[in-house]
Structure 1
Amino acid sequence: MRDINLKATEHFEAVARLGSVTRAAEELMVSPSAVSQQIRQIEAQLGVKLFRREKQRLILTLDGDRLFQTATEAFAALRNARDAIARQREARNVILRVSPSFGVRWLGPRLPGFLARHGDWNIRVDATPDFSAFEAEAVDFDLRYGNGGWKGLNVFPILHDHVLPVVSPAYLAELEATAPGDPVAQLANARLVDSVKALTRWDMWLARQRITLPRLSLPLRFDRSSMSIEMARQGFGIALESTALCLPDLQSGALVPLSRDFDVLVSEAYWFVSPPQHMNRRIVRLFSEWLTAEGRAHDAASEALLTGLGCRLRDQGPEDHSALSVDQ
């Protein structure tokens, strides 16, 4: 048997629920003859009679009652789902996607402050390194790590990378003992922690600092920057990281710059990304404005701390990493 005709089933359910072809036609905004035709079609498909007439009244047969009980529950569930989806889109709900490390170390600590002012909002955060397929997923926007340039989407920067080698004070003391006053030699002697999905990795950073090491060894590699930062905090090596994720550790002194001799490389790295039409939702616009303000405040705090520590900031040109799906 072919799959059941949903249009004919919808017409049948309306007639059975309302007890009248005419009233069903009014609800469905079609003619009574169209309703009757759909009833005949589903009866022909099933090979049974669904109604019998008694004194100008339509009475469900046993088969008709069995189909009606199932159909009315199914269509009621569909209508409820439709209404819930419509309410959700109009309510104060927002769904966003963010990479895991950025979600935990940057966005997460800021959300309570936002919710304290907007307690009636519902926020869903999907922490994943995968970018949203907006045409197929119910996601309002992404916070993406990369160099921008995603075509066909509304894209603007939220936060900069300020990249530098960071190390625990205890491990820095060990390195200083091996090569006093020589940070390049200290690098050569150190365990370098590699964040394999970062935009600026050790080979690029060394080239931009015009440093050549006798041998580039990366004994610790992680696909989450949060893990690289933790390894550096524990004194297992030097992590090449951004203040976007490790600013609190630098502020507390749990991590320190390896040396003021090396420039801090600065670039736009975190982006608000959404289909243009999603900006028509007021909640999305307000959230994007809040994110932008938080990003500016964080960038200002990063620069104030770094310059206060005597570090030099240097803008670096963009690299073509816009197609990468990365966690940073």
Structure 2
Amino acid sequence: MIAPRRFLPSIPSLLALEAVDRLGSASAAALDLNLTQSAISRQLKQLEQQMEVDLIARDQMRMQLTPAGASFAKEARAILSRLAQASVKLRANPDGGSLNLSILASFGLHWLAPRLKDFVGKNPGITVNLQTHNLPFSFDAGTAQAAIHYGNRDWPGVDYLPLMPKHVLPVCAPELLDRPLERPLANPADLLDYPLLHLETHPDSWEQWFALHDVAADRLQGMLFDQSSAMTQAAVHGLGIALLPTFLADAEIAAGRLQLAIADDPVTLGEYFLVWPAEHADDYPLMKFRDWLLGQIAAEES
């Protein structure tokens, strides 16, 4: 529900307030907005009268916002930015709208991106805008309407669509193992004799993997990476053994850049989800994207 009209200031007055706060003077704000200095002053005066709050500290030699004015300007800046982004999206997608999707880089680039052409072909009026993130991630910090999440159902205030378990394999460059090619290690504990590569967002993955193989391994150390792609390249160049999701490991193994470090089946560490805030649940682009994802998952499972 929109607030009563008397609480909704005009966009020109908000622009004037934001510019004065950002640039520090009415003259600079006037130049930035291509207005006169008196026009800036009038907009601020009208805003004060409408809000019935002093926004300008008039006992100063130069124009300066009061604490209340500075706080209001910060809120106005965020609202104006979102309005501008919405206008750009509307102009770019007048038919079906767009979906701002925040993705985990490795999942988005290696699993989702190759399949997006199918979604675009079936939904030509919808544009999917991708932005990458690391964990932790918050919808409050950006413009995303949905996100790819990895882990557990421990994120309050969002709805979940399960996508797939995260199956991982320990892989390394063929030359790292001191043995003939295509001869992986047989004993999980033997991996402790080699450098292990770690992901910053999931630093305990190796401990979980060893625990599933009944191997005591606490406080493991090694190179730390913020992206799976960087860790993959480190493994390719022989810097250690990496735990990679199967959709990433399989491609590197097929290309001959990596091999299994141990002859073992993939293990499951967590799950991938599509998540979204409740207020975006009925967004048309998101609804179509969810339906399409369900079809992709069903096709893979069959």
Correspondences of 1:151-230 after superposition (within 5 Å): 151-172=156-177, 174-175=178-179, 182-184=186-188, 186-198=190-202, 201-212=205-216, 218-230=221-233
Counterpart among 253, 262, 285 of residue 250 in structure 1: 253
Partner of 2:148: 143
The answer for the alignment partner of 1:239 in structure 2 is 242
Where structure 1 has 5 or more consecutive residues not aligned to the other structure, the ranges are: 11-40, 46-76, 301-328
Deviation at 1:142, TM superposition (A): 1.0
User: Structure 1: which amino acid aligns with 2:275?
Assistant: V
Map 1:274-285 → 2, pairs under 5 A:
274-285=276-287
What does 1:84-163 correspond to in 2, within 5 Å?
A: 84=87, 87=90, 91-129=96-134, 133-134=138-139, 137-163=142-168
User: Between Structure 1 and Structure 2, how many residues are aligned?
Assistant: 227
Q: Which moved more, 1:184-193 or 1:92-101?
A: 184-193
Distance 2:246 2:211 in 1: 20
CA distance in 1, matches of 2:227, 2:85: 39
1:296-311 pair list within 5 angstroms: none
Structure whose alpha-carbon radius of gyration is higher? 1
When residues 155 and 201 of structure 1 are mapped into structure 2, their CA distance, relative to the original with a 3 A threshold, is same
Shift in alpha-carbon separation, 1:138–1:129, aligned structure 2, 3 A:
same
Deviation at 1:257, TM superposition (A): 2.2
Q: Specify the code of the residue in structure 2 equivalent to 1:294.
A: Q
Secondary structure at the counterpart of residue 94 of structure 1: strand
Q: Which runs of 5+ in 2 are unaligned?
A: 1-7, 14-44, 50-79
> AA paired with 2:222?
P
- Change in Cα spacing, 1:168 to 1:94, as seen in structure 2 (3 Å) is same
Q: Is the 8 A contact 2:135 2:201 kept in 1?
A: no
Shift of the 282–185 alpha-carbon distance from structure 1 to 2, 3 Å rule, reads: closer
Length-normalised TM-score, structure 2: 0.60
Q: Give the Cα separation in 1 of the matches to 2:274 and 2:125.
A: 23
2:294 is the counterpart of 1:292: yes
Q: Is the 8 A contact 2:189 2:215 kept in 1?
A: no
1:48-89 CA-partner distances (Å, limit 9, x unpaired)? xxxxxxxxxxxxxxxxxxxxxxxxxxxxx99x9699379469
What displacement does 1:180 show?
A: 8.8
Q: How many angstroms does 1:115 deviate by?
A: 2.5
**Would the aligned equivalents of 2:89 and 2:98 in 1 still touch at CA under 8 Å?**
no
1:127-167 deviation line (CA, Å, top 9, x unaligned): 12256644674322111111123233211211211122112
**Distance in 1 separating the partners of 2:280 and 2:203:** 28
- Percent sequence identity is 25
TM-align CA RMSD: 3.9
| Contact 1:97 1:131 (C-alpha < 8 Å) held by counterparts | no
Contact 2:106 2:228 in 1 (8 A): yes
What letter corresponds to residue 126 of structure 1 in structure 2?
Answer: Q
